[in-house]
Amino acid sequence: MEHPAITRTIKTGYPYSDRREEYGTDALGNEVFEGDEILVYQDEFYLVEELSTDAIQILEQHGGDYRIAK
């Protein structure tokens, strides 16, 4: 398990970026920022880059909708 600042730095290049506003926390506890790709299913959203291939396929088969967090 890594410190969240390290994970964020690996993903964005910055530990904290003023250029990206936080969108919220997905159903699995991942921080989501504006511009991230999410899958929306019912009233929940999921950060696509944190989902396994199987999870993506299941959400797609059940009507999950791809969106960009805004």
The domain spans of the chain are 19-68
Residue 56 vs residues 5, 14, 38: alpha-carbon distances, Å: 26, 27, 10
Model confidence over 3-31: pLDDT tens digits? 777 877 777 776 665 567 889 999 999 99
The share of the chain scoring above pLDDT 70, in percent, equals 89
Q: What angle do CA 44, 50, 54 make, to 5 degrees?
A: 85
What is the token pair recorded at 14? 């910055």
Residue 42 identity (one-letter amino acid): Q
Higher pLDDT, 53 or 15: 53
